[in-house]
Each structure stands twice: as C-alpha cells, then as structure tokens.
Amino acid sequence: MARVTKRDMFVEIANALEANGAPIEMVEFVDHEIALIDKRKSAPRKPSKNQVENENLKAQIVDELPTEGATATEIANGLEVSVQRTSQLLRQLVDAGLVTRVEGKGKTKTQFVLAE
C-alpha cells in the first residue's frame, strides 16, 4: 500500500469540499495549504555535513589516486576512513565516469584507476 502524504490528504479534502458544495473559503484554505507544501518541497536544500564531507573525500580520491591504481582498502587507509565508506564513494565515482574499476583475477584484488 502506497504511503499517503499530507499533500495527498489535502487534495482529497479539497475534492470532497468541492463535491459537497462547501463554502469557497474552506476550499481556498485547503488550496493554500497545498501550495505551501509544494513551495516547501521545491525550496533549494543546503547539503548536509556528511554530503559536503563525502564530496571533499571524492575529490581527494580523484586527486590522489595513483596512476597504477589502488584497492579500496589502500585508499581507505590513505584517507583514514572506513573501507565501507570508501567503497561507497568509489562506486559513486565509477557511476560518474571519473574512476574505472579493474576486476582482479585470482589472488589479485580489484583495483580502481582514473578513467581516461
């Protein structure tokens, strides 16, 4: 079952008020509330502290990635952050086309290199 939002509820109330011939002031009030919700939702949002930090870490990874490549663990150790966080950031960089993932064969571990 889909989650019903506050906006959805106000739309349903507006429809019910209009269908039942409610006073125009009531309908206008509900329409105003819907407009406020839409305005709040479309307002630009400031990035969170973690988002800013992640962007800085991604820039650092791109700037400091050795030309021969490195594993996620090596990169994490250099940045002094967890391997999980580094893997997430590397995945984002791969998706953005800035870094390429080179699969390891046998005992060779997966490496990450700058995209060309």
Q: Which helix (H) or strand (E) holds 83?
A: helix 83-95
Q: Which pLDDT belongs to residue 42?
A: 86
Q: Which pLDDT belongs to residue 1?
A: 67
Domain range annotation of the chain: 6-42, 49-114
- Whole-angstrom CA distances from 66 to 60, 61, 69 are 12, 9, 5
- Whole-angstrom CA distances from 96 to 44, 59, 60, 89 are 23, 12, 15, 11
**pTM attached to this predicted model:** 0.63
Q: Which pLDDT belongs to residue 45?
A: 85
Which of 94, 100, 95, 93 has its CA nearest to residue 114?
100
Q: Which pLDDT belongs to residue 107?
A: 76
Q: Which pLDDT belongs to residue 86?
A: 95
Q: Which CATH class is domain 49-114?
A: mainly alpha
Task: Find tokens 């106000």 and name the residue.
Answer: 10
Q: Which pLDDT belongs to residue 31?
A: 94
- Using an 8 Å Cβ cutoff, are 58 and 89 in contact? yes
pLDDT in tens, the chain (116 residues): 688 899 999 999 999 998 998 898 999 999 999 999 999 888 888 899 999 999 999 999 999 998 888 999 999 999 999 999 999 999 999 999 999 999 888 777 899 999 87
The three-state secondary structure class of 12 is helix
Q: What is the DSSP string of 48-64?
A: PHHHHHHHHHHHHHHHH
The alpha carbon of 23 is separated from its chain's Cα centroid by a whole number of angstroms, namely 43
